[in-house]
């Protein structure tokens, strides 16, 4: 039986949430954590992002701006089967995502992508620390005016993408909208409503954006070369946290992944247990 809708964010404070650093986790859930030198480890652990409440929205930033270090804002509570509802408004570029059934680290779990940057995807899925599956049907790039200012999104030219889409990536999705359909629903520089459903021991996850069913993933059908089902259950169990992400900047993309002053905003965050 479905439960009542619960507010996860009161619109004024971060009560019910806590920030954690974006630590480096292994690709596979049964692999040991990567050992880093003491200086790098200390630098990562000292940064948990800048999370504020502004105009009724959670705002996530790198801290300090331009540091290139990521973070997560993690729910105090854990959840099993649920429908998650929220609105998001990311700057360009801002590479973020929504972690589902995440571990206490935030960095391990099922991620719904909100990669609002070149070669990004919105609404598809990534397996953080559970095999590295990348289930997407399109990538995006910026539309620019004559002065070079970003004015909107377009479907990316496959010849220029940084994230090639293989037949395998498409085949991981049980349902998928086209990039053109997504763009018809997406609101540039405005609030976009997400409705994410998570159901099952190895969950089926569905992403609906502004009323459009963008993508669906059935984890029970994922191939072993990209997903360790037994290891994921052992690591995450049947319940986990919800987490919002501020991505770090890798050497390959630099601030094209997260601009120095970029912000992603979330509001009206609610959950309905299923």
Domains of the chain, earliest start first = 6-273 (2.60.120.560)
- Per-residue pLDDT, 6: 97
Residue 172: strand, helix, or coil: coil
Mean pLDDT by 10 residues, the chain (274 residues): 89 98 95 89 90 98 92 98 98 98 98 98 98 97 96 94 94 98 98 98 98 98 98 98 96 92 98 98
- Per-residue pLDDT, 239: 98
- How far is 80 from 273, CA to CA, in rounded Å? 8
Report which secondary-structure segment, H or E, holds 206.
Answer: strand 204-209
- Per-residue pLDDT, 112: 98
Q: Does the predicted model carry a pTM greater than 0.95? A: yes
Identify whether the C-beta of residue 74 lies closer than 8 Å to the C-beta of residue 18.
yes
């Amino acid at each position: 039986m479905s439960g009542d809708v619960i507010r996860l964010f009161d619109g004024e404070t971060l009560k019910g949430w806590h920030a954690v650093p974006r630590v480096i986790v292994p690709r596979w859930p049964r692999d040991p954590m990567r050992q880093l030198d003491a200086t790098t480890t200390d630098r990562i652990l000292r940064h948990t992002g800048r999370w504020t409440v502004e105009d009724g929205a959670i705002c996530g930033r790198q801290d300090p701006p331009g540091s290139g270090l990521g973070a997560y804002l993690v729910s105090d509570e854990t959840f099993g089967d649920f429908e998650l509802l929220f609105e998001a408004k990311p700057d360009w570029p801002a590479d973020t995502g929504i972690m589902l059934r995440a571990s206490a680290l935030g960095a391990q779990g099922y991620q719904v992508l909100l990669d609002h940057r070149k070669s990004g995807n919105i609404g598809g899925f990534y397996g953080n620390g559970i095999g590295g599956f990348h289930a997407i049907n399109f990538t995006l790039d910026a539309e620019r005016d004559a002065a070079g200012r970003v004015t909107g999104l377009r479907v990316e030219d496959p010849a220029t993408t940084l994230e090639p889409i293989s037949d395998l990536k498409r085949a991981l999705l049980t349902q998928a909208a086209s990039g053109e359909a997504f763009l018809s629903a997406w609101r540039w520089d405005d609030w976009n409503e997400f409705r994410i459903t998570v159901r099952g021991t190895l969950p089926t996850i569905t992403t609906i954006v502004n009323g459009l069913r963008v993508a669906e993933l059935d984890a029970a059908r994922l191939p072993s070369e990209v997903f360790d089902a037994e290891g994921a259950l052992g690591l995450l169990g049947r319940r986990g946290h919800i987490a919002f992400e501020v991505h770090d900047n890798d050497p390959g993309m630099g601030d094209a992944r997260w601009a120095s002053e970029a912000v992603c905003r979330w509001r009206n965050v609610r959950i309905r247990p299923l």
